A = this chain, B = another copy of it.
Amino acid sequence: MERTRGLNLDYLAATSGEAKILLTLFIMLLSAKLMAELFERLRQPAVAGEILAGVIIGPSLLALAAPSEITDLLAEIGVIFLLFTVGLETKPASIFRVGKSAAIVAVLGVVAPFLFGWLLMKAWGSTGIEALFVGTAMVATSVGITARVLSGMGLLDAPTARIILGAAVIDDILGLLVLAMVSSAAAGSLNYLEILTTAALAIGFTVFVALVGAPVVTRMAPKVERLRSGEGMFIFGLVLCFGLSVAATYIGVAAIIGAFLAGMALAEAAEEAPRMHRQMSGVTEFLVPFFLVNIGMKLSLEVFRSSSVIILCVLVTLVAVATKLLGCGIGALNLGVRRAAQVGMGMVPRGEVGIIVAQIGLSLAVIGPELYGVVLFMAVATTVIAPPFLKLLYANEAAARGDIGPPDAGGIVTSDDLFKIA
């Protein structure tokens, strides 16, 4: 309100805030796409390139961009669309077919990392609550990364892919229950009633959408197609995706679970709507880079100056990989060793869920910046380590698939096109 300074400058200042936000988004988008292209030329997963782009442009290195409320929101919308698209490829029937195997994989894959993560931290000399938080951060698989790799190979419908996706959904719900328990423990009291309520709601929500929602949506689809707006199915998909995401957060589970279930409910109907697939792929392709770059931007390289932090990073990452690989692998051993290894490796990436746990721990002052750095390192490292091994473990299936022709030969955009990885 300093009239003497010249209002014209105030006007320019007002627009420069907007300019800065747009500049940040532009840098995130450009760096993500450049690194994705570079990594694909090096035959590495584009996902790792986009996360690394975030590390490079983020506050730790070039400081060209920084995470903010706004990048967090775009990242959140991005991961919602990513899981929605994954859900679109996942017909409920095929999850139910693997329900029992998936449940065993999920439970073993939650117990092993939590237990051994906690043991490692206790052995390292951490306090009990720190050990509990690190263990919790190691629990939940980030299904988006594995889904992106598998869909890039056109293998989302492989039997082990179904088990991984099913287990990751159950695993996410279990992970959030563990988090609720650990948060209660940090407060010095376990609120059993609240935990039971959340568990019941989460399980009920999932079963309801899968059993009741999907058939209803499939029956509604032809009517939606007839709406005047022309883009009926696409708009219906958007509304369902956001609606169930919101419902999930109000029930107390992550929004991405709602988005995944929304996609799953639409999966049958979406087969008849290639136009919607392509439009959805545009939104996903635009927004997912913000999710991946934002993860990278949050990694502070500062804490890695201490050699003890680096040793702990390596140990935690090793335990995180080994416990999912063995825990989930044992759960799937009846399928044979190679398939068990596929399932185990597919459950390794922690990605955003580990980071969310770390952020909550930090905001509650339960863990310090160093352990925060360790958990972020583990989350990013497991995410970067898994894709090359997954590609190796699935090489036979991909080759066999190649023989029967490309999966999008019908002109329909599958997430295969979405997530091209080499």
Using A73-B70, A194-B8, A279-B281 as known contacts, say yes or no to A420 and B228 having CB atoms under 8 A apart.
Answer: yes
A229 within 8 A of B: yes
Task: Tell me whether A186 is interfacial, beta carbon within 8 Å.
Answer: yes
Per-position binary interface string of chain A over residues 316-339, scored 1 when its CB falls under 8 Å from any chain B CB and 0 otherwise: 000000000000000000000000
Contacts of A285 in B (CB 8 A): 231, 234-235, 279
Asked whether any CB of chain B lies closer than 8 Å to the CB of A282, the reply is yes
Secondary structure call for the A interface: helix
Q: A26, B242: Cβ atoms under 8 Å? A: yes
Q: How far is the CB of A42 from chain B (nearest CB, A)?
A: 10
For the complex, what is the distance from the CA of A389 to the CA of B77, rounded to whole Å? 38
**Chain B proximity of A181: nearest CB distance (Å):** 9
Question: Residue on B with the closest CB to A281?
Answer: B279
Chain B residues lying within 8 Å of A211, measured Cβ to Cβ, are: none
Please state if A363 and B14 are interface contacts (CB–CB under 8 Å): yes
A172 at the B interface (CB under 8 A): no
Q: Report the count of interface residues on A (CB-CB < 8 A).
A: 77
Q: Within 8 Å CB of A196, what residues of B?
A: none
How would residues 206 to 233 of chain A score, 1 for a CB under 8 Å from any chain B CB and 0 otherwise? 0000000000000000000001111100
Interface check A269, CB cutoff 8 A: no
A1 contacts B by Cβ under 8 Å: yes
Contact with B along A183-213 (1 / 0, CB 8 A): 1101111010010000000000000000000
Q: In the docked arrangement, what's the CA distance between A365 and B11, Å?
A: 12
Contacts of A41 in B (CB 8 A): 228
In angstroms, how far is the closest chain B Cβ from the Cβ of A335? Answer: 31
Check B11 against A180 for contact (C-beta < 8 Å).
Answer: yes
If the complex has contacts A22-B255, A70-B69, A242-B22, are A366 and B12 also in contact, measured as CB distance less than 8 A? Answer: no
The yes or no answer to A239 lying at the interface (CB within 8 A) is yes
Interface positions, chain A 230-272, Cβ under 8 Å from B, are 230-231, 234-235, 238-239, 242-243, 245-246, 249-250, 252, 255
For the complex, is A122 an interface residue (Cβ under 8 Å from B)? no
Residues from chain B with a CB closer than 8 A to the CB of A69 are 69-70
CB-nearest residue of chain B relative to A23?
B246
In A31-88, the 8 Å CB interface with B consists of 33, 36-37, 40-41, 46, 69-70, 73, 76-77
Q: Are B187 and A40 within 8 A (Cβ)?
A: no
B279:A11 contact, CB within 8 angstroms: no
- Whether A11 touches B364, Cβ cut-off 8 Å, given contacts A6-B191, A229-B36, A422-B228, is yes
Contact indicator B360/A249 (Cβ below 8 Å): no
Judged by a CB distance under 8 angstroms, whether A30 is at the interface is: yes
**A7 partner residues in chain B, CB cutoff 8 A:** 183-184, 186-187, 364, 366
A15 is an interface residue with CB less than 8 A from chain B: yes
Query: A252 contacts B12, CB within 8 Å?
Result: yes
Closest to A1 in B: B365
Docked CA distance A23–B76 (Å): 13
| A370 interface hit (Cβ, 8 Å) | no
Q: Tell yes or no: A10 within 8 A of B by CB.
A: yes
Contacts of A281 in B (CB 8 A): 279, 282
* A93 interfacial by beta-carbon distance below 8 Å: no
A18 within 8 A of partner (CB): yes
**Is A280 in the interface zone, CB < 8 Å from B?**
yes
User: Taking beta carbons and an 8 Å cutoff, which residues of A are in contact with B?
Assistant: 1, 3-8, 10-12, 14-16, 18-19, 21-23, 25-26, 29-30, 33, 36-37, 40-41, 46, 69-70, 73, 76-77, 179-180, 183-184, 186-189, 191, 194, 227-231, 234-235, 238-239, 242-243, 245-246, 249-250, 252, 255, 275, 278-283, 285-286, 360, 363-366, 417, 420, 422
7 extra A-B contacts, CB within 8 A, seeds A11-B179, A26-B239, A70-B70: A7-B187, A15-B249, A23-B250, A33-B239, A278-B279, A279-B281, A279-B282
